[in-house]
Amino acid sequence: GEDCLWYVDRNGSWHPGFDCDFFTFCCGTCHQRYCCRDPLRLLTERQQRHCLAFSPKTIAGIASAVVLFIAIVTPIVCCFMCSCCYLYQRRQHLRTPLQGRGGAPFPMDPKAGPMPPQPGFTPMAMYPPAGPAAQYPLYPSGPPVYNPTAPPPYVPAQPSYPGA
């Protein structure tokens, strides 16, 4: 015989599954099940599982879970990407000081004073020394421009006779 699986009736009450006797089948509908001998009223286990999978309460539960997930996750993700949002600005504020100091683990309190030197770390001057800066000659960018009135480049004198 076929077994009747658990089901929920039209009032929303849960009913446990039960076995039918020899030569009887599980009969009825998705919301009411009983054992009978009429093969025309037979409700197979596959049909019973289909009732469970596509019941209105199951669909409503899945739909509400999806809507709730979208309603919570989407604004959070959008807020991390939108420059006008507090979470975006906070993330950028925390990222910028770390990048600017070469990877310090947290922002330094200006009232705390200078940071003590770390073992194996050679301190470097933070600002260039005061005084005149070295001047370098400025060269024009790009290839030289041809000037027909310029003198020819220097060419050393060649002897006028061979063997000299």
Q: Determine what percent of the chain falls in helix, strand and coil, rounding each to the nearest 5.
A: 35, 10, 55
| Average pLDDT rounded to a whole number, residues 101-110 | 57
Comparing 121 with 14, the larger pLDDT belongs to 14
Res 164 pLDDT > 60: no
Spatial distance between the Cα atoms of 19 and 22, rounded to a whole number of angstroms: 9
Comparing 77 with 68, the larger pLDDT belongs to 68
Give residue-wise pLDDT tens across range 109-147.
667 666 666 677 666 666 666 666 666 666 666 777 777
Q: Give the model's pLDDT for residue 82.
A: 77
Range with the largest mean pLDDT of 69-78, 100-109, 138-147: 69-78
Range with the largest mean pLDDT of 62-66, 74-78, 105-109, 124-128: 62-66
Share of the chain above pLDDT 70, in %: 63
DSSP assignments along 38-69, one per residue:
-GGGB--HHHHHHHHHT-HHHHHHHHHHHHHH
Q: Give the model's pLDDT for residue 71.
A: 85
Comparing 92 with 155, the larger pLDDT belongs to 92
Q: Give the model's pLDDT for residue 124.
A: 65
Let me know: does 34 contact 27? Beta carbons within 8 Å. yes
| Average pLDDT rounded to a whole number, residues 71-83 | 77
Spatial distance between the Cα atoms of 41 and 52, rounded to a whole number of angstroms: 18
Res 103 pLDDT > 80: no
Res 11 pLDDT > 80: yes
Spatial distance between the Cα atoms of 43 and 3, rounded to a whole number of angstroms: 9
Comparing 132 with 73, the larger pLDDT belongs to 73
Q: Which of 40, 1, 43 is nearest to 22 (CA)?
A: 1
